[in-house]
């Protein structure tokens, strides 16, 4: 049996349905078993791993917890972190196949400067260098430089230090194709081509305001499929009792 791919997904209590659909889309297309962990801030706090005070600029509950990925992976092997507001349309094993052992992290290196002042459910939109680089990261967890990301460091360091990968040299940051972190509302659409990982960074169809965004119908189709699957399981369970 093929070894499971380790994936950590940001989880936010306001976007639980986004997490469910992201996970469902990962599983639908993956040719490999997946070992998936939701990064729930409350659980990490109870476990003594996360103790930062609330940051008014943090738009999600996983703004900082994502940087615990190497620690949670025991500083071994490769692991993927991804925000919950993604929809996958391709096999995530293709992404892991790009892992370059010369790199500490790999990500899509956007020059993202959103014009909107707010996103999602009214959260403040901020602009900073390397914005959205950390929204999907392929982590080389055993890479020596990543050893500095202890829970203590993640709780202590600034948002700029973490989100700009300032513990790394530029040469340690590998680039991934934009199709693996295609920013809805920013990335350029390619005719007749569906991105492999669509990022509804402004807000997705689970919010009323964002129901008609580009590729929103694909997210809705995955959501409908998930509902049908859950209904089938419920009917089966009821028949078994």
**Per-residue confidence (pLDDT) for residue 2, from 0 to 100:** 83
Query: Which of 108, 116, 110, 128 lies closest to 57 in space, CA to CA?
Result: 128
If one counts the domains in the chain, the total is 1
**How far is it, in rounded angstroms, from Cα 30 to Cα 88?**
10
CATH number for the domain that contains residue 189: 3.90.550
pLDDT tens, position by position, 4-36: 999 999 999 999 999 999 999 999 999 999 999
Domain of residue 27: give its range. Answer: 5-240
pTM: 0.89
Query: Which of 229, 236, 210, 181 lies closest to 18 in space, CA to CA?
Result: 210
Judged against a pLDDT cut of 60, whether residue 117 lies above it is answered with no
Q: Work out the pLDDT band at 191, boundaries 50, 70, 90.
A: confident
**Per-residue confidence (pLDDT) for residue 238, from 0 to 100:** 44
**Per-residue confidence (pLDDT) for residue 156, from 0 to 100:** 97
**Kind of pairing between the strands at 105-107 and 173-175:** parallel
pLDDT tens, position by position, 142-153: 999 999 999 999
């Amino acid at each position: 049996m093929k070894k499971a791919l380790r994936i950590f997904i940001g989880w936010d209590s306001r976007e639980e349905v986004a997490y469910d659909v992201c996970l469902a889309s990962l599983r639908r297309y993956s040719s490999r078993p997946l070992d998936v962990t939701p990064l729930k801030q409350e659980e990490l706090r109870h476990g003594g791993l996360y103790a930062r005070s609330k940051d008014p600029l943090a738009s999600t509950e996983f703004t900082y917890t994502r940087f615990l990925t190497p620690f949670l992976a025991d500083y071994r092997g490769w692991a993927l972190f991804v925000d919950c507001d993604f929809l996958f349309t391709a096999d995530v094993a293709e992404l892991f196949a790009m892992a370059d052992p010369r790199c500490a992290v790999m990500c899509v290196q956007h020059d993202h400067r959103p014009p909107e002042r707010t996103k999602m459910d009214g959260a403040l939109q901020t602009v900073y260098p390397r914005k959205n680089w950390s929204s999907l990261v392929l982590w080389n967890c055993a890479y020596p430089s990543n050893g500095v990301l202890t829970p203590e460091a993640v709780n202590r360091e600034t948002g700029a230090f973490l989100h700009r990968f300032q513990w790394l040299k530029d040469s340690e940051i590998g680039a991934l194709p934009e199709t693996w972190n295609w920013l809805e509302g920013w990335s350029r659409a390619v005719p007749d081509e569906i991105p492999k990982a669509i990022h509804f960074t402004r807000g997705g169809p689970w919010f009323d305001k964002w129901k008609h965004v580009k590729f929103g119908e694909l997210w809705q189709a995955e959501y409908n499929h998930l509902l049908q699957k859950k209904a089938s399981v419920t009917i089966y369970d009821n028949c078994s009792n």
